Amino acid sequence: MSDKTLFQKIMDREIPASIVYEDDFCCAFNDITPQAPVHVLIVPRKPIPRVGDAVAEDQAQLGALLLAAGKIADQLGVKDRSKGFRIVINHGVDAGETVPHMHVHLLAGRSLSWPPG
């Protein structure tokens, strides 16, 4: 049986997804259950289970996720301050984590309320 995470299988094209961005550190694809007109998941190639499990050697991986967020927001036309986007990382049960392979949610395309639910 494969030990790959769901998101590794997507990155390896074993499970279909709409991939919008890739680089050496990460892969980004549309969320299957979008919560906004733009809802992209940015996933490190290294299967860090959740953000609090990252270690010092993951620094480049973590930084790459934020840099990718800016590039993807630009690519999708929501980077301009008159529009904008939100990034979210869920760690653990109370935060709503459901997939144990760290990922950044990039949400945009509508006015997002604050505080989040």
Q: Among residues 19, 31, 58, 61, which is the contact residue for ligand AMP, using CB under 6 A?
A: 31
Contact 23, 34 (CB under 8 A): no
**Closer CB to ligand AMP, residue 6 or residue 54?**
6
- Smallest separation, CB 81 to ligand AMP (Å): 26
Three-class SS state of 98: coil
Taking residue 117's Cβ as centre, other Cβ atoms within 10 Å add up to 4
Sorted by sequence, the CB contacts under 8 Å of residue 76 that are 6+ apart come out as: 20, 38, 40, 108
Binding-site size, ligand AMP (CB under 6 A): 12
Decide: is 2 part of the binding site for ligand AMP (CB under 6 A).
no
Q: Among residues 11, 17, 20, 62, which is the contact residue for ligand AMP, using CB under 6 A?
A: 17
Site for ligand AMP in 52-111 (CB under 6 A): 90, 96-99
Decide: is 33 part of the binding site for ligand AMP (CB under 6 A).
yes
Residue whose token pair is 């259950």? 33
Please count the residues of the chain: 117
Task: Give catalytic residues, as residue numbers.
Answer: 103
